[in-house]
Structure 1
Amino acid sequence: MPLFFCLMAGGAPAGEWRLHAGDIPFAQEELEALPGQSFRFFDGGESQYGSGGAYAYTYSAENGGGTAWGTYRIAGDGSICVDFTNGFGRCDLYVHNGSRVILITEKGERFPVR
């Protein structure tokens, strides 16, 4: 399922994320360094974080291509909440686990970053 369709109403309260052993949420410094970064996922999709809270998720060709635009903000629990221009929204948590970076949705879905 493309990340964009993981519709969420708001951030999960701190401590309610479905973390696995070894998951270490991004530190505040890493969250503040998001502008200018992108994360490519194994399904070919890519999340891009721009300056001023700009956000874009580009789907792989296999998932129809195209880009979903929106804005992001960092919630108090360290999750990243995105409000898309089409009215949808979601919150996700980035964690380190060993040498891997993983995006976790509020439903507990895990999307490793390439």
Structure 2
Amino acid sequence: MPLFFCLPAGTAAADSWQLRPGDTPFAQAELDALPGQSFRFFDGGESQYGSGGAYAYTYSSENGGGTAWGTYRIAGDGSICVDFTNGFGRCDLFVRNGSRIILITEKGERFPVR
């Protein structure tokens, strides 16, 4: 999953997310359970949500490896906003569609979780 370091951290309005039929945003209980969870994507990248709002995205070796560090917060619309240590940030929305978990970016890009 590529990270886009050119977006200022913000909160998109709930109706601005490009949801598809069957998309159900994470419930509050799922958002509250993020600390300690990680999500691996099909490109081999992995998002890790730590306690106290710590965040790390580790790139696959095919995408150069390395880790982008930051902190995350849950916005009022249920999106997860990350502020990276390099000064940039982004907000994403996790949804369930059937048995699949999908991360949706503010641009509408969809990244299914393995």
* Cα offsets for 1:24-51 (capped at 9, x unmatched): 0000000000000000000000000000
Instruction: State how many pairs are aligned.
Output: 113
1:8 Cα shift? Answer: 2.8
Correspondence for 1:27: 27
Q: Is the 8 A contact 1:8 1:106 kept in 2?
A: no
Give the aligned residue type for 1:103.
L
Q: Is the 8 A contact 1:72 1:81 kept in 2?
A: yes
* Cα offsets for 1:46-73 (capped at 9, x unmatched): 0000000000000000000000000000
Correspondence for 1:15: 15
1:68-83 equivalences under 5 Å are 68-83=68-83
Task: Give me the identity figure in percent.
Answer: 83
Structure 1: gaps (5+ residues)? none
Partners in 1 of 2:48 and 2:88 — Cα distance? 17
* TM-score normalised according to structure 1 size: 0.96
**Deviation >6 Å, runs of 4+:** none
* TM-score normalised according to structure 2 size: 0.96
Structure 2: gaps (5+ residues)? none
